[in-house]
Structure formats: C-alpha cells, structure tokens
Structure 1
Amino acid sequence: ACKGVAYVLHQAAIRSVPKSMDRPLPSNEANVTGTLNLLVAARDAKVQRFVYASSSSAYGACKVFPQREDMRPQPMSPYAVSKLAAEHYAIVWAKSFGLETVSLRYFNVFGPRQDPESLYSAVIPKFMEQAYLGVPLDVHWDGKQSRDFTYVTNVVRANILAATGPKSASGEVFNVANSETYSLLDVIHVIEGITGRRLARSHHPIRAGDIRKTWADNLKIRRLLGYKPVRGFEEGLRDTWDYFVNDYFPKKHAGRRES
C-alpha cells in the first residue's frame, strides 16, 4: 500500500463522537486497527515520515486551559480513545521501528467543502445551511460550550510542516489550532454579521460525549515546526460562507432562497 511513497498523511477515520457512542466496535476497527495496518505498511515500505491526524477529543474532560500536549488525556468517548490509542501506536513505531511519525491533534476543523448533511459534519456548515434556508439553527446544550475552531488552510499548513520538519519532531504530538476559543453563540453572532439578519435558534439537549470547552496551547508546534495560523476565525467563517452560498447551496437547494 505504501510502496514508492515518501510521506504518508493519514487522515482516514470514522470521525464521529456520537457514532462511536452508538457503534464503538466499527470506530475502533477503522481508527485503531486501520491506523496500525497503515503503520505496518509504512514501516515495511521504508516510508520517510508518517503524519497521523489525531484529535483534540483526546483531552476530553480536561479542565485546565489552554490544553498542552503534556497534559494527561481524559477521553470521554470511544472515538477519543481510538484516536489516543493510534497516537501511542505511532509513538511506538517511531521508537521501536525507526519510522518517523508525527501526530497532529486537530482542534475543530472547519472550512469549504464540509458536508452539512454528513453524520460527521461540524456545527459550522450545519449552522450555515440552516441560515441559508431561513430555518432555526439547531443548538445542542446552551450554546455556551466553546471550541478552538481551526480553519482548514491552517491544518493543511500544519501537515506540510509535520511531513517536512526536523527529525526532532519524530515521535511527537502537536496541537493544531489557533489557540483561541469561541462559543457556539459566538459562531452564530458572526454568521448573523455576515448575513445581516437575526437567526432564530432551536435548543436541544446535550449529546452523549460532548465536552464543554476546547482551547489549545500551540506553542510547541510554533517552536518546533514553525507553525503559524494563516487564517483567523472570522476570516475563515467568511470564506466558508462565501463557498457555500456561491458554490454549494444554490446547486443543492435549487429554487429555494434565503428568507
């Protein structure tokens, strides 16, 4: 599978916390066993470096902020456990087999081409679709839960740096984030500013596995890999909205307009 490959950027996963709560075995099979299979293939093919897409969910119930890579993980879902377990496999492969590995803990990635209908979709594309259609925004919990939302361009940049960075990065885990936290109500407020109208909300109970807050310390990745976010939160939201209203929603919802 990895013959002739210099760099592996492993992004594949069943990436849904709710789905992992309902069906933990398939989540483990894809996220842990799948990663292990790819690590074996990368080792056997003598791949130069293996970059693994992990998740901020590994921090779980952590109540100390900002969250640093040396903090004890407290995963709260099978998904989080699976991502953390695969991180450890990557570290073992670096130490025991000489395969250079880097694990990146993504913090709430968003941007163009996220599918609002996907079971794994983040809240931002769902909010934007509901705003476009003029229907109430589905808000789970009280909306005050906050996330370190990270625009996709920043994540792409982090992957490139992780693949091409110094040997000292091998076997390490890095947060990939803006190191800022915004509540869901903040997200709604920015979307209201973009659309120029007040958006109705429909509140729902908390979902199993949900956490109150994510907020990353990104000093380690800045120091060792030279990472710096190239797109901020509000800029990213505007870029994402522009993509959806110009390229995606008009095709999907032909004949229906914003109200």
Structure 2
Amino acid sequence: MSLKILITGAAGFIGSNLCEYFVSMGHDVLGLDNLSTGSLSNIEGLRLKDNFNFLKGDIRDIETCRKAVLNRDYVLHQAALGSVPRSINDPITSNDVNVGGFLNMLVACKDAGVKKMVYAASSSTYGDSKALPKVEERIGKPLSPYAITKYVNELYADVFYKTYGLNTIGLRYFNVFGRRQDPNGAYAAVIPLFTKQLMNKQSPTINGDGTYSRDFTYIDNVIQANEKAMLTVHPEAVNSIFNIAYGERTDLKMLVDLLKMSLSKYDKSILNIEVIYGPVREGDVPHSLASIDKAKRILNYQPQFNLRDGLDEAVDWYWSHL
C-alpha cells in the first residue's frame, strides 16, 4: 500500500537517503528543505520520479509547515541544524531551527491530523552522564546548545502527545555515517572528513588523544529504524524514545586505522599516512555507546551493518564521488 510521507531535511544526508528508500518502495514522498545545509544534488535522481515531489521551504515558517503536511499520513522529521561546534558558535540560529522549527512541525502535524511523526533525536541528549551503555531512561545534563535543543524536542513531543494526542516517536541517532554525508565545510562529521583527508594524502587531526569513542551507525540501519518506527503498531512505541545505533563503540584511533584499511584497496600508500593529535573539542562527550535493547524489543530493530561493513560501503561511495 502506498503511503503519503513527508520527509523534512530531504536534501540533507539522512533525509535524502530516506527519500531514496521510500520512493523506491513505491510510496508518495514529499521532501521539504530550505537548502541551507542540504543540496539538490543529493536528490537530483529522485526529481524525475512520479512519486517524489520537492518543496523548497523553511520549517521556521509555520505556513510552509502547514502546506507540507497537507494530506500526509506520516512525517519523518530530519530537518535540523546539526553539529555541537556550530551550536556553540551560533546558539540562536540552532535554537530557532531546532526548537522553533520543531514546534512549528508539531503544530502543523497536530492540526492536519497526521497519523504519526517520527523525529530525529540525538545521542547528545545524554550529556554528562558517564553511564555506559546509554539507556533511554537515564540522561545527564546537556553539554552544548545543540544538545539542549534536541532534548527540548523530546519534551515538546511528550507534551503534544499527552495534551493533543499527536503520535510521536523519537529516534536518538548515534553518529550516523554513510553515502552522501558531506565531507566539506567547517562542521563536517568525522568519518567523511577523515576519508576525504586520507584520499588527498593529508594527515587527519584527531581531537584529543584518540581514546574518545563513539557508537558509529551506518545509514542503512537508520533507514530501517525509521521505517519500523513509522509502521509499528506496538502499544509501547508511541510517545517513546529509542536509541538507534549498532551497539558497539570504537575509539577515534581505531576508526582511522579501519578507514585506512578500507581505503588501502584503492591506494596502498594511504596505510602510511600519519595522524595528528589536537586539543579536545569543547562540548564533546568522551564516550558514547548505546543500548539498543529497547529498539530491538519494541520496534524489532535489527541493525544489519557494523562499523567495518558500513565503512567499506561508505568508502566505495566516496572513492567514486569525490
């Protein structure tokens, strides 16, 4: 059965991958993006498809949100200004987009009678909690303006469910990577940035001593989670938050070694590139590891790609596109 789905942030990394997948499944997809960080090149192949439409617009404008949700069954809300450093440099814009824009989407979804809104939450919400693995019900104090905005999203979603009956599910993404993640710009994520540097025979710079660790999560695992969250009828799923990760942590030193190995099949000399160590980045959480037991139990989430397999796929994409 073809569903009518709105995907916000459609021209971005995660949004464009979601658009591609749901269009390929035969659903009627509308993509919304203001193209501030996304790129039309990410969705150019989709714009020829009969079941995909694109609306250029900003979630900070309530009328744009109302127009976008009209006659949509489901909303997959990915639009946000990501990056901890960006939010530290410009907290006002991060708040305007991530909190104000999110509230606009909630109001528009409520008024339009959307069946469910699945939204991108963030592992940054765990803040200064030192407990590992991270369990949904136990969080710390946020360490950045970005983390605050993503936590506020969860609070707003909870209130809209309890007050207005709007069905929401939040997916706390852990360090998502994969095809079409932008390696350029001041706020590029670590995997595309390191990949590009290694391909250009440049030494990647690790913030800190390389022992900080992350639960790196390949994009196809995130696509699966969004589909399962959207379609689930499990009574415990609605108005709930789920960690979306692979459930293993890798330190940054090991990450670079794995990237070198993946890239070495194209160019053996990459194995010899040295790493530079720089200062720890402000607002960075030292260690991140997700418990995905709740997502497995309630959503039947079964991540297919571990870090090594995901890196091989991502490196293949970057080698042919950069």
Looking at structure 2, the residues matched to 122 and 22 of structure 1 have their Cα atoms a distance apart, in angstroms, of 16
Cα deviation digits, residues 113-135 of structure 1 (max 9, x gap): 11111333210011111110001
Cα deviation digits, residues 149-208 of structure 1 (max 9, x gap): 000000011011111112431110000001100011111111222214222112211111
Superposed, 1:130-145 pairs within 5 Å as: 130-145=197-212
- For structure 2, the residue ranges without an aligned partner over 5 or more in a row are 1-65
Looking at structure 2, the residues matched to 27 and 191 of structure 1 have their Cα atoms a distance apart, in angstroms, of 31
- Give yes or no for contact 1:149–1:233 (8 Å, CA) kept in 2: yes
Of 4, 28, 39, the residue aligned with 2:106 is: 39
**Deviation for aligned residue 1:33:** 0.8
- Out of 47-56 and 113-122, give the one that drifted further: 113-122
**Deviation for aligned residue 1:38:** 0.4
Cα deviation digits, residues 60-87 of structure 1 (max 9, x gap): 1111110000103321000000000011
Which letter does structure 2 place at the counterpart of 1:168?
E
Secondary structure at 2:113 match in 1: coil
Structure 2 partner of 1:49: 116
1:12 matched to 2:79:
yes
Cα deviation digits, residues 30-53 of structure 1 (max 9, x gap): 001100000000000000000110
**Deviation for aligned residue 1:241:** 0.5
Of 68, 77, 80, the residue aligned with 2:144 is: 77
Structure 2 partner of 1:220: 294
1:211 matched to 2:285:
yes
- Give yes or no for contact 1:16–1:119 (8 Å, CA) kept in 2: no
Q: TM-score, normalised by structure 2?
A: 0.75
Aligned residues: 248
Structure 1 partner of 2:188: 121
Superposed, 1:1-259 pairs within 5 Å as: 1=66, 2-166=69-233, 167-194=235-262, 195=264, 196=268, 197-246=271-320, 248-249=321-322
- Give yes or no for contact 1:52–1:87 (8 Å, CA) kept in 2: no
Q: TM-score, normalised by structure 1?
A: 0.93
Which letter does structure 2 place at the counterpart of 1:130?
Q
Secondary structure at 1:168 match in 2: coil
**Deviation for aligned residue 1:96:** 1.2
Looking at structure 1, the residues matched to 312 and 295 of structure 2 have their Cα atoms a distance apart, in angstroms, of 26
Which letter does structure 2 place at the counterpart of 1:37?
N
Secondary structure at 1:51 match in 2: strand
Greater relative contact order (Cα 8 A, min sep 6): structure 1 or 2? 1
- Give yes or no for contact 2:127–2:139 (8 Å, CA) kept in 1: no
Secondary structure at 1:93 match in 2: helix
Identity %: 41
- Give yes or no for contact 1:143–1:184 (8 Å, CA) kept in 2: yes
Secondary structure at 2:236 match in 1: helix
Looking at structure 2, the residues matched to 35 and 219 of structure 1 have their Cα atoms a distance apart, in angstroms, of 27
**Deviation for aligned residue 1:22:** 1.2
Moved over 4 A (4+): none
CA RMSD of aligned residues (A): 1.0
Looking at structure 1, the residues matched to 141 and 173 of structure 2 have their Cα atoms a distance apart, in angstroms, of 16
**Deviation for aligned residue 1:138:** 1.4
- For structure 1, the residue ranges without an aligned partner over 5 or more in a row are 250-259
